[in-house]
Amino acid sequence: MTLPLPTTAARTTPTQGLAAAAPVTAEPPTSDNTGNIGSWFRTDSSSDSTNGRSWCQLNYQDSWMGTAIPVGTMIDSMGGDSLAAMKAYCGLEIEATNPANGQTVTMYVVDGFDEAWVLTPGAMDMTIAAFTALNGFFDNNKDTVVQNMSWKFTGNRNPSYAYDASG
């Protein structure tokens, strides 16, 4: 089943009140985040190893424009300090581009994932809403991924997605 691209009215992602992000010592996972694979995950599903609460300590939803990047890379860039990594990365704004359809989508770091699942050095795992927006459709098939995508940090942070913002 293919779901339509979500409309702006249907999204629950806060977009107001963006703040400049504090400097991050390394842009995970590489300085050249091109040629990557973008996959998708459900935010509350045992088959996706999620329980509705993210690594960023957020009660997140599939409808958020969110993404997960490799946890180990984030922690390593902060000298092995997990809490510092969560505070540095959670809520950072990312622009991702799908070269197959020309779509560029803004999303936010809301989670992290284990490097054991990384197929390319700059891979990212997106919420269903973010994946649908970037890919153009959602078919509930884990083999459907965005190929050769690129992404970058914009330098903004959405405080609604900062570490432990949902309490």
CB 56 within 8 A of CB 90: yes
**pLDDT tens per residue, the chain (167 residues)?**
222 222 222 223 333 444 555 544 444 444 458 889 999 999 999 988 999 999 999 999 999 999 999 999 899 999 999 999 999 999 999 999 999 999 999 999 999 998 887 777 788 999 999 999 999 999 999 999 999 999 999 999 999 999 998 76
In Å, how far are 17, 73, 145 from 156, measured between CA atoms?
10, 20, 26
The reported pLDDT for the residue numbered 120 is: 75
The reported pLDDT for the residue numbered 11 is: 28
Q: What is the pTM of this model?
A: 0.82
CATH for 24-161 (2.40.40.10, 2.70.170.10, 3.40.50.10330, 2.60.40.3500): 2.40.40.10
SS3 29: coil
Sketch the domain layout of the chain as residue ranges.
Answer: 24-161
Report which DSSP code applies to 21: P
The reported pLDDT for the residue numbered 19 is: 52
Query: Cβ-count burial of 166 within 10 angstroms (0-12 exposed, 13-18 middle, 19+ buried)?
Result: middle
The reported pLDDT for the residue numbered 130 is: 98
